[in-house]
Structure 1
Amino acid sequence: MLVEPEQSKQAVTADAQREEIIKAVIEEIRPNLRRDGGDCELIEICGNKVMVKLTGACVFCKLSSATLEGIQARLVEKLGELVRLIPVAGPARVSL
């Protein structure tokens, strides 16, 4: 199927806006995590999957699952669509 240039530009613009919203939500949450010695990094966005890495105190925190649920809820609220927040371990693969 051929994609018209205008449709392609709109898709790229929508993806860029979506990525900016995701980054903004994570940046909004980070100061609260840093206050307690933790952090959250955006690793990758793949469709409706948003991969993040918890670092510092968040790694072993008993409330990390609640933190992830809160971030996911905020993403869904801001994007207006269902996304799946996936925590990843190890070093960052992609710097966004």
Structure 2
Amino acid sequence: MRGEVEPVLGVIRNALRMEGGDIELVDITDDGVVSVKLTGSCAGCPFSQMTLKNFVERELKNNVDGIKEVVAV
């Protein structure tokens, strides 16, 4: 599954970098929970949870079968 998630995160990463942020893949569980770390301007941003759920999670679920949730660590 990591091989499917990484390219999608690459697209997401490009969008976040335009705003001074970034994202790192930390882990993917067997039951489809993706753990990521938001960095740069995304770390501590008041809208980071919205970005995580409405952008990152949506894109991963739409493009990778089996993704159930995305969580920040």
Question: Into which bin does the TM-score normalised by the smaller protein fall?
Answer: 0.7 to 0.9
Report how far residue 81 of structure 1 moved: 3.2
Report how far residue 82 of structure 1 moved: 4.1
Partner of 1:44: 27
Structure 1 unmatched ranges of 5 or more = 1-17, 89-96
What is the distance in 1 between the residues matched to 2:20 and 2:52?
16
Q: Which of 58, 64, 69 is the matching residue for 1:73?
A: 58
Query: Which of 76-85 and 29-38 deviates more?
Result: 76-85
1:87 aligns with 2:72: yes
What is the distance in 1 between the residues matched to 2:71 and 2:2?
16
The residue correspondences of 1:13-32 to structure 2 (distance < 5 A) are: 18-32=1-15
Contact 2:20 2:40 in 1 (8 A): yes
Q: Percent identity?
A: 34
Give the alignment's Cα RMSD to 1 decimal. Answer: 1.3
Whose RCO is larger (CA < 8 A, sep 6+)? Answer: 2
Q: TM-score, normalised by structure 1?
A: 0.67
Q: Which of 33, 40, 65 is the matching residue for 1:56?
A: 40
Q: TM-score, normalised by structure 2?
A: 0.85
More strand by share: 2
Contact 1:25 1:71 in 2 (8 A): no
Contact 2:33 2:67 in 1 (8 A): no
Aligned residues: 71
Structure 2 unmatched ranges of 5 or more = none
What is the distance in 2 between the residues matched to 1:85 and 1:65?
10
